[in-house]
Structure 1
Amino acid sequence: MTIIRTLSLTTALIFTLGLSQPAHAQGTQIAFGGLKHDSSLPIEVTSDQLSVDQGTGKALFSGNVVIGQGPMRLTAQTVEVIYASEGGKIARLLASGGVIMINAGEAAEAQRAEYDLESATVVLTGNVLLTQANSALSGERMVIDLDTGTGRMDGRVKTILQSGNE
């Protein structure tokens, strides 16, 4: 009975995470229900320092950077803001140094992140760790589609499945 219960819980968890193949495979599809997000919301940035280069159209926030957009939060040591060539809108955010992204109880950590506002995608690279409830998933690169709340983890993907037993 315990073995059947453990297998049922493990199978349910795999389907909940949306894994379409074994977690040790080179690429894994993931459901990011909590990471679905409205990328048209205003962006608030706080940091210890700001440098602006009018010539290149870039701004560099450094030191304890916190970016908020609706319920989503991204923290890093530095974030470069790249503006679109027309209209002065933010095109991309390039974060580095202890990047943490949190939204609706899900958290992702990485060395670097690139948030493309036009395509509403976030690409996390370098020792990526995703935490969803009691489960963890790691790899070298993760791409999140914020419009659909889905993503893909690549690069020697590893997961920990909780069996439900203490």
Structure 2
Amino acid sequence: MYFRHISLLLLLGVAAPALALPGDRDQPISVSADKASFNEKTGTALYSGNIVIQQGTIRIAADELVVTTDAKGTVITAVARGNPATFEQKTRPEYGPAVAEAQEVIYQAVEGFLTFNGKAKLKQEGASFQGASISYSLERGEIEAKGDKQNRVQLVFPPPPRESRISKKLGDSAP
């Protein structure tokens, strides 16, 4: 429902309110995996096997992950790859989660950007985006989908609920 409005606003070129729950980006980022290594000099951590990244209601699952941190240990980027890698986030308490999948999920933690590359799909409340890549701003609530020769951009909008449809006779004036 909220996602449908954002999809429509996106098509009209109007900025929408933020999609993320306000506290998600203020939460710590936790990573679990079967195997991990960290290079203190470069600030790069490599994870493999059954990876789960959690930050508030944000959840990313993947087969492999590369995390880059700054000198203070703050996560800068996380690049998750899988067949597919998946993403889930509760965007508003009253709606179901936004669910996405792609071959690669890039999370730019400081900027609040997510990029889904390779057979990217994003769904919520019956609405969906699909394309070669999808970019998603957690702060601005903007979504951009790009296609290629194999994966054209597709948007699906669910019909309005029956109870909100207006039944009029031909010739009646608009409300």
TM-score above 0.5: yes
The answer to whether residue 156 in structure 2 is matched with residue 160 in structure 1 is yes
Structure of greater relative contact order (alpha carbons < 8 Å, 6+ residues apart): 1
1:98-135 per-position Cα deviation (integer Å, ceiling 9, x unaligned): 21110111101111011111111111111001111122
**Contact residue 10 and residue 142 of structure 2 kept, 8 A:** no
Q: Is the 8 A contact 1:47 1:61 kept in 2?
A: yes
- The equivalent residue for 2:39 is 53
2:74 aligned residue (89, 99, 108): 89
Match of 2:26, SS state, is coil
5+ residue gaps, structure 2, are 91-96, 163-175
1:113 aligned residue: 105
- Note the aligned Cα RMSD (angstroms): 2.7
Aligned residues: 148
Q: Is 1:151 the equivalent of 2:143?
A: yes
- Once residues 17 and 64 of structure 2 are traced to their aligned partners in structure 1, the CA distance between those partners, rounded to angstroms, is 25
Give, as a single letter, the amino acid of the residue that structure 2 aligns with 1:107: V
Q: Is the 8 A contact 1:36 1:149 kept in 2?
A: no
Percent identity among equivalent residues?
Answer: 26
> Whose strand fraction is larger, Structure 1's or Structure 2's?
1
2-side partners of 1:118 and 1:102: how far apart?
Answer: 19
What displacement does 1:53 show?
Answer: 2.2
Distance change (3 Å), C-alpha of 1:31 and 1:141: farther
- Secondary structure of the residue that 1:18 maps to in structure 2? helix
Residue number in structure 1 paired with 2:7? 17
1:136 maps to 2:136: no
Question: Aligned ranges for residues 26-41 of structure 1 at < 5 Å?
Answer: 34-35=19-20, 38-41=24-27
Gaps of 5+ in 1: 1-12, 23-27
Query: Given that residues 91 and 118 in structure 1 are in contact (C-alpha distance below 8 angstroms), is that contact kept between their aligned partners in structure 2?
Result: yes
Shift of residue 56 of structure 1?
2.4
Moved more, 30-39 or 144-153: 30-39
**2:79 matches 1:102:** no
1:45-90, CA deviations, whole angstroms, 9 ceiling, x for partnerless residues? Answer: 1111112223322111111101110011111111111011x32211
| TM-score after normalising by structure 1 | 0.76
Letter in 2 for 1:17: S
Residue matched to 1:25: none
CA contact (8 A) 1:99 1:112 kept: yes
